[in-house]
Amino acid sequence: LVCSSGSCVSLRRVGTWIESAENEKTEKNCVSVCVQEQQVAPSRNHIGRVNRNCHTSSILTPNDKENAQRMTREELTEVILKLLVAWREPLWHFEQRLRPQSLETSDRAAQVGRMVHEVRSGVQRVAQKMQMLGMIGNFVSGLSSPEAQAPSESSEWQLLQNWDLLHCLRRDANKVQNYLKILKCRIVPEYGC
């Protein structure tokens, strides 16, 4: 899913533990949002570019396999929920921002927002169930954290350009997907791991 010169966000439904392996060619659950790559401002030095600072960079996430495996189930669950919660508002605003430009893109952005919401609520329910069953201990649901970080973050993501926003979104979605897979294979390894 490659846009002409933009970035595409493909989000897969991770509602349930069992992920359906889909053929790349028939990405039913994939929503592609394309935005035009903005004119990059001339870089200060030709070595580096304008760095993107995603508003979720403050959330500590494991960036390699060892670190991810070292984390406990509860911590993983927390990270997942934090990420998902953090994207609720930015996506809404993103949609609003796109509306005057292109209705279609705005609709797709809205669709993306709904999918993220679905994933979040699903994960929340599963995590609560697991907690009930004793599979995991206490974890922070992540609902309270956005309020704490809201003021600082709100400015950050508003500054983000559309294209950068999509980049950040794509990365975070990939993270969430991977963490969920790790969690699944740790708890129920018989489900296709």
Partner 1 sequence: MFLHIPTKEVKPYELSLNTSHGTSLLKLACLCLYRKKQRGAKMKEMGLLLLFFSVACGKVTGLGPPGKPTLTNCRSPEKETFTCWWKPGPDGGLPTTYALYYLKDNSETVYECPDYHTAGRNSCFFNKNETSVWVNYNITVVATNKMGRTFSDPVDVDVAYIVQPHTPENVTVNVMEDEGWPFLRVSWESPHKADIRSGWITLVYELRSKMEGEEEWEEHFPGQQKTFNIFSVRSGSSYLVQVRCRPDHGFWSEWSPTTKTKVPKFFLGRSLWILILVFSILVVLILAWIIYMNCHSLKHSILPPVPGPKIKGFDHQRLKNGSYKDGLGALMIPEYPPSSSSNDDDLLVEYLEVFVTGEQDISMEEGKEIQDHYCKSESSTCDSDSGHGSCDSHTLLIDKCKETSKDELNSNCEDASEIIELEISQNNQDEKTLSYDGRPDTCNGRVKTWPSVFTPLPQYTLSAIPQKSSLEIVKQHCLSDTLFPPGSMSSNLVNQNESFGPSYWEFSLNSKQLPQIHSQSSKHLQAYSDINISKKDNEITTLFKSTQYVEVKNVNNKDMVLLQPVESGSQSHAEGCPHVHQGKDYSKVKGVNSDKMLLLESGVNVMGQETATCFCDKSETNHKHPPMQTVLPVQEEQKPFAANGYVDTATMFSVPM
Query: Would you tell me which residues interact with partner 1 (CB under 8 A)?
Result: 10, 12, 19, 21, 23-24, 46-49, 51-53, 61, 63-66, 68-69, 171, 174-175, 177-178, 181-186, 189, 192-193
Nearer to partner 1 (CB atom), residue 120 or residue 175: 175
Residue type, 89: E
The residues near 157 (Cβ < 8 Å, ≥ 6 apart) are 55, 89, 90, 93, 165
Which CB sits closer to partner 1, 99 or 181? 181
Task: Please state the closest distance from residue 49 (CB atom) to partner 1, in A.
Answer: 6
The string of DSSP letters for 46-80 reads SS--PPP--TTTTS----SHHHHHHS-HHHHHHHH
Min CB(18)–partner 1 separation in Å: 11
Closest approach of partner 1 to the CB of residue 80, in Å: 13
- 9: which 2 tokens? 């966000």
Q: How far apart are CA 147 and CA 151, in angstroms?
A: 8
By C-beta, is 103 or 193 nearer to partner 1? 193
Nearer to partner 1, 69 or 152 (CB): 69
Provide, rounded to whole angstroms, the least separation between the CB of residue 163 and partner 1.
Answer: 13
CA distance 176 to 118: 13
Nearer to partner 1, 98 or 112 (CB): 112
Nearest of 72, 45, 62 to residue 139 by alpha carbon: 72
